[in-house]
Amino acid sequence: MKEKDPTIQCSFCKRRVVVHSQYDLPVYDPRSGFALCARCVTDIYKAIEAHQVEVNKEADAETMSNLDEEMSRIKPHLIKEYLDKYIINQDQAKKILSVAVYNHYKRMKYGFDHKEDELDEIEKSNVIILGPSGCGKTALLSHLAKMLDIPFAVTDSSSLTEAGFVGSDVEVAVRNLYYAADKNITRCEHGIIYLDEFDKIARKSGENNTITADPGHEGVQQSLLKMLEGSEVEFTARGQRKHPEAPTIKVNTKNILFIVGGAFVGIEKIIAKRLKATDTGIGFGAKIEGQNEKPKYNDLIHKTRPEDLMKFGIIPEIIGRLPVICTLEDLDENALLRILTEPRNAPVRQYKKLMEMDNVDLEFSDDALHAVAQKAIERKTGARSLKGIIEDVMLDIMFDIPKSDKHRKVTITADCINNHATPIIEDLE
């Protein structure tokens, strides 16, 4: 009787292999007989790795060659100049962000031509942004993103959940950046991640809240810790379900700049309480005129300190990894008036353009603009409601005007804003 051959042939190198364990023949399909021996698998793996190193080197060289040119374009004062075109006030925040971004580029440059025996590394300075609702946090960051040539991804923190819970894991933030970088790992590893609505993952047991335990939100913060500092983050491609065999993409977050932001509603009360407790007579309290006058939001917010964030419900380890605190102010009537007309995408300009397309000159009387600003202040949503207030009075006009092609002038008055009066329409032909 013929003895059974104890070896199996590798389909690639044609060698016959004695199989003691699955590692001798890592790939084997008994039905078709297709097999790959350990040696071939190792060779293929090495070839792939070597190729990856080449690809990365090319990507590094390309990024590096653009870097000098880019750095002359994004000097802090130039970034601020650009932001000034869109965002009114918030000068301090614009300055802080401009410097943070410029330093991010410097770190990147230093990392690329890092020489031995010099300084080990320049540590990154992640930023935390706070300020009232509708004051321009998200808008500021989205304009910044448009200006920069490095990948920039915004992720809503309130959608993040602790691993194992329904929702998105924190890795999603890195995955978003990976796609913003057109799947280029080198570019991704030097990008900027903005975590919006960061206050929504505050621990509910913070002083500002009444619920005593909140493992979910604290868990999200814990999972963010390593990522903020720098770690290898693994995620699956978009649309791919997460299961143990799914191929993963690895990104190191060491050089990614993190900016987190949120309204942190009520933090001014925490700051006021702290200042009151530490007031020695020459401190904050002494500056307030009148005995019962409450300190204003804008006076308080710029005094935010790490311990206030901790009281709000951000864990100390996270705060330690966000060394730059950037605060935005509440917008007063004057600022709102400017927002209505000045920025390149100001609401009044937008409606003027829309009307122009129907051969109509649209005018807002000064009173009308004041009325809009005052209404927005009443709604307490910062600049957010400006557009909606105008939209309300513009609806009928936008419906009726296209009925004719005549050249006309439409004037919106304070009466239109406050009492729904009909705008004045004049024929100009």
Binding footprint of ligand ATP on the chain (CB under 6 A): 87-90, 131, 133-139, 263, 331, 339, 343, 382-384
Nearer CB in complex with ligand ATP: 134/206: 134
Residue 281, phi-psi category: left (phi > 0), alpha (psi -120 to 50), beta (remainder): left
Q: How far is the CB of 335 from ligand ATP (least distance, A)?
A: 7
Q: How far is the CB of 91 from ligand ATP (least distance, A)?
A: 10
Give the closest residue to 364 by CA, choosing from 395, 341, 382: 341
339 binds, among ligand ATP, Mg ion, none (CB under 5 to 8 A by kind): ligand ATP
Our measurement of the distance from residue 339's CA atom to the centroid of its chain's CA atoms, rounded to an integer in Å, reads: 22
Q: How far is the CB of 328 from Mg ion (least distance, A)?
A: 10
Q: How far is the CB of 140 from ligand ATP (least distance, A)?
A: 6
Count other C-beta atoms under 10 Å from residue 114's C-beta.
Answer: 12
Q: How far is the CB of 261 from Mg ion (least distance, A)?
A: 7
Nearer CB in complex with Mg ion: 124/137: 137
Give the closest residue to 154 by CA, choosing from 91, 198, 102: 198
Which helix or strand (DSSP H or E) is residue 344 part of? none
Nearer CB in complex with ligand ATP: 70/156: 156
160 binds, among ligand ATP, Mg ion, none (CB under 5 to 8 A by kind): none
Comparing every residue's Cβ against ligand ATP, the nearest one is: 136
Q: How far is the CB of 137 from Mg ion (least distance, A)?
A: 5
Query: 339: which DSSP letter?
Result: H
Comparing every residue's Cβ against Mg ion, the nearest one is: 138
C-alpha dihedral (92, 96, 97, 100), degrees to nearest 10: 170
CA atoms within 13 A on the CB side of 422: 7
Nearer CB in complex with Mg ion: 169/196: 196
C-alpha dihedral (220, 226, 231, 236), degrees to nearest 10: -10
Give the closest residue to 327 by CA, choosing from 363, 307, 308, 303: 303
423 binds, among ligand ATP, Mg ion, none (CB under 5 to 8 A by kind): none
136 binds, among Mg ion, ligand ATP, none (CB under 5 to 8 A by kind): ligand ATP
Nearer CB in complex with ligand ATP: 340/360: 340
> How far apart are alpha carbons 322 and 313 in whole angstroms?
14
Q: How far is the CB of 130 from ligand ATP (least distance, A)?
A: 9
Q: How far is the CB of 265 from ligand ATP (least distance, A)?
A: 8
Asked if 324 and 315 count as a contact pair (C-beta separation under 8 A), the reply is no
Nearer CB in complex with ligand ATP: 256/335: 335
Handedness of CA 185, 189, 194, 197 (dihedral sign): positive
271 binds, among ligand ATP, Mg ion, none (CB under 5 to 8 A by kind): none
Give the closest residue to 302 by CA, choosing from 264, 268, 261, 266: 268
63 binds, among ligand ATP, Mg ion, none (CB under 5 to 8 A by kind): none
The contact set with Mg ion (CB under 5 A) reads: 137-138
Nearer CB in complex with Mg ion: 137/321: 137
Nearer CB in complex with ligand ATP: 219/343: 343
Question: Which tokens go with 32?
Answer: 């078709």
Amino acid at 18: V
Burial label for 410, CB within 10 Å (0-12, 13-18, 19+), is buried
382 binds, among ligand ATP, Mg ion, none (CB under 5 to 8 A by kind): ligand ATP
